[in-house]
Amino acid sequence: MYYLRQMRLTDKPYDLDQSYKIVNLTVEWCKKFFTAPNIKRRKPLCLMIHNTPAREVYGEYCSGNNWLTINLHNCVSIKDIVTTTIHEYVHFCQDLKDYGKMTKKMGYEKNPYEVEARDNEKYYTNCWRSIKYKVSLTHRVS
């Protein structure tokens, strides 16, 4: 028997396919909500989603390759997936040329690039309200 239910941000994704869909929908939401800078010769954004237990990070953005990576192994709830995706997308929108210098000077936690990215995570509820009905809500009941 199948039924539909309202998913909450604290829920675990039903499966990896659903997790991938949440990441992709969150990126699409971010494209509408945040403005990426127009940087000459910038490569298109490449979204990489993996499930690697060996890595401790939730996600990362590589400005050199323009890769936004989400590690689903560490994102155990829907909220983790959405906030991590928003956080890394904010880095995509930043001009990170002084990122390393700021990290050395102020440390990771006080780096203004990280502060801005963390501050924008607060929009996860707006994002989730916008995308949750596009995520498959069908679950199997035994």
Residue 126 lies in a domain: yes
Residue 101 lies in a domain: yes
Sequence-ordered alpha helix ranges (H) in 3-111: 16-33, 78-93, 99-106
Of 9-23, 28-42, 74-88, which one has max mean pLDDT? 74-88
pLDDT, one tens digit per residue, over 88-131 is: 999 999 989 999 999 999 999 999 999 999 999 999 999 999 99
Length reported for the chain: 142
pLDDT of residue 14: 66
Residue 85 Cα distances to 12, 41, 99, angstroms: 16, 24, 19
Hey, which residues does 49 pair with through a beta bridge?
Answer: 70
Paired tokens of 43: 């490569």
> How many angstroms separate the first and last alpha carbons of the chain?
7
Percent of the chain with pLDDT over 90: 61
Residue 1 lies in a domain: no
Residue 129 lies in a domain: yes
Residue 75 lies in a domain: yes
Range of the domain at 71: 16-133
* pTM of the complete model: 0.87
pLDDT of residue 43: 81
Paired tokens of 37: 């800078």
Residue 25 lies in a domain: yes
Residue 7 lies in a domain: no
**Pick from 3-17, 30-44, 60-74: least confident:** 3-17
Average per-residue pLDDT for the chain = 86
82 close to 104: Cβ distance less than 8 angstroms: no
Of residues 134, 44, 43, the one with CA closest to residue 82: 134
Q: Is the pLDDT of residue 141 over 60?
A: no
pLDDT of residue 6: 60
Residue 34 lies in a domain: yes
CATH code where residue 101 lies: 3.30.2010
Number of domains composing the chain: 1
